């Protein structure tokens, strides 16, 4: 099978001809129809995450080993199953839950794979979806896509799920509250699409790119705000017309986190999702009197992926813009993604 692998950190993915795996036991082989390209693929290909102050977290410290097939937003059809697999039909359209834990720690036994300290996630620690096939180690991570288009369904495995997971960490809000979404890339747009199912707050989306803001508006954002001005925090607070009680930062730079801190009101919850990198200085004496919550959010649970697909199947989600490209353009796509050239999600398809 053709797979696009990182062979050397920081270098383009290489097309490699690998043996098609034969699933054993509870393993499932999925034939990839669509694989979404995520901004974290930029970081993983580079081989590190920027921790600020000149510090780096290398992909190897993070648990990745080379060579490795990149790609963690995967949808396709069941191609083959191991002898212990029950309830799956060959050819059935499915989405793969990639955020797989060790399977034996207390988090994993409690179905919270995302909090596992020894994750074996597909496409970041084990071979993923920029390939004709992916081997999934347990059948429970295979989710029926129902009648959802597989190009869109693939994006639920990371951009949809990550946005949903972050939205669920917001406080209870009313229609007089404001939820600020920083960054209108694939994740930010997914959050705009899902937010009405989770919160009553009015949605404000901030980004530097007017085309992305227009896409957010088309998906139902109540307000869009170009954050390239000089006094962004004051302008944004004024424009908001209500307290910004929830903030999700899908960029995750010092600038965006500082903006979040500057527009927060007493009791606000700030969730940082983006990993563009850098660090933030927090005046500790402000956290308590301002009753602030600052926290991270990483992807979402298997059950949340099932919920999202059900929402989409029931017609409750406005689909984010998804463009499809051939998988052999993967390196150019990751380059373009690094320069934030796309509106919505790009999904690649094997030839």
Q: Which residue ranges make up the site for Zn ion (CB under 5 A)?
A: 38, 40, 101-102, 105, 108, 116, 158
Query: Residue 335 in contact with residue 191, Cβ under 8 Å?
Result: no
User: 44 vs 259, which CB is nearer to Zn ion?
Assistant: 44
* Residue 266, CA atoms < 13 Å, CB-side half-sphere: 3
Choice between 40 and 214, CB closer to Zn ion: 40
Closest distance of CB 284 from Zn ion, Å: 32
* Dist CA 222 CA 205 (whole Å): 8
Least distance between Zn ion and beta carbon 186 (Å): 8
How far is residue 33's CA from residue 94's CA, in Å, rounded to a whole number?
10
Pick 72 or 178: Cβ nearer Zn ion? 72
Q: How far is the CB of 42 from Zn ion (least distance, A)?
A: 10
Bridging pattern class, strands 202-207 and 223-226: parallel
The CB-of-52 to Zn ion minimum distance in angstroms stands at 21
CA 170, 275, 234: angle at the middle one, nearest 5?
A: 60
| Residue placing its CB nearer to Zn ion in the complex, 101 or 300 | 101
In the complex, what is the shortest distance from the CB of residue 219 to Zn ion, in angstroms, rounded to a whole number?
19
Instruction: Give the CA-trace dihedral at 304, 310, 311, 315, to 10 degrees.
Output: 160
Cβ at position 102, least distance to Zn ion in Å: 3
Segment holding 346, helix H or strand E: strand 345-349
- Judged by beta carbon, residue 73 or residue 202, the one nearer Zn ion is 73
Q: Specify the residue, 38 or 292, whose C-beta has the smaller distance to Zn ion.
A: 38
Strand runs labelled E in 137-234: 142-144, 178-182, 202-207, 223-226
Residue 34 near residue 154 (C-beta atoms within 8 A): yes
């Amino acid at each position: 099978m053709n797979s696009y692998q990182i062979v050397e950190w920081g270098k383009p993915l290489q097309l490699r001809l690998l043996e098609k795996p034969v699933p054993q036991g509870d393993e499932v082989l999925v034939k990839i129809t669509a694989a979404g390209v995520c901004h974290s693929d930029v970081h993983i290909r580079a081989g590190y995450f920027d921790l600020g102050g000149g510090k780096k977290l290398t992909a190897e410290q993070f648990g990745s080993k080379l060579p490795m097939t990149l790609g963690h937003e995967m949808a396709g059809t069941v191609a083959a199953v191991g002898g212990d697999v029950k309830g799956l039909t060959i050819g059935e359209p499915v989405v793969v839950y990639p955020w797989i834990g060790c399977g034996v720690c207390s988090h994993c036994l409690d179905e919270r794979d995302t909090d596992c300290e020894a994750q074996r996630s597909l496409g970041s620690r084990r071979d993923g979806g920029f390939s004709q096939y992916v081997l999934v180690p347990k059948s429970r991570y295979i989710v029926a896509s129902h009648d959802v288009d597989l190009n869109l369904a693939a994006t639920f495995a990371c951009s949809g799920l990550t946005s949903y997971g972050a939205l669920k960490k917001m406080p209870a809000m009313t229609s007089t509250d404001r939820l600020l979404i920083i960054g209108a890339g694939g994740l930010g747009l997914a959050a705009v699409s899902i937010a009405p199912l989770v919160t009553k707050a009015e949605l404000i989306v901030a980004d530097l790119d007017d085309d992305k803001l227009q896409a957010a508006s088309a998906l139902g954002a109540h307000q869009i705000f170009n954050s390239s001005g000089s006094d962004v925090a004051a302008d944004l607070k004024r424009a908001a017309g209500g307290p910004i009680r929830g903030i999700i930062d899908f960029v995750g730079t010092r600038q965006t986190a500082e903006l979040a801190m500057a527009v927060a009101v007493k009791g606000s919850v700030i969730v940082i999702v983006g990993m563009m990198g850098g660090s933030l200085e927090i005046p500790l004496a402000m956290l308590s009197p301002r009753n602030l919550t600052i926290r991270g959010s990483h992807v979402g649970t298997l059950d949340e992926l099932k919920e999202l697909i059900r929402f989409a199947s029931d017609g409750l989600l406005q689909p984010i813009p998804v463009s499809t490209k051939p998988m052999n353009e993967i390196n150019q796509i990751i380059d373009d993604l690094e320069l934030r050239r796309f509106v919505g999600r790009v999904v690649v398809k094997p030839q």
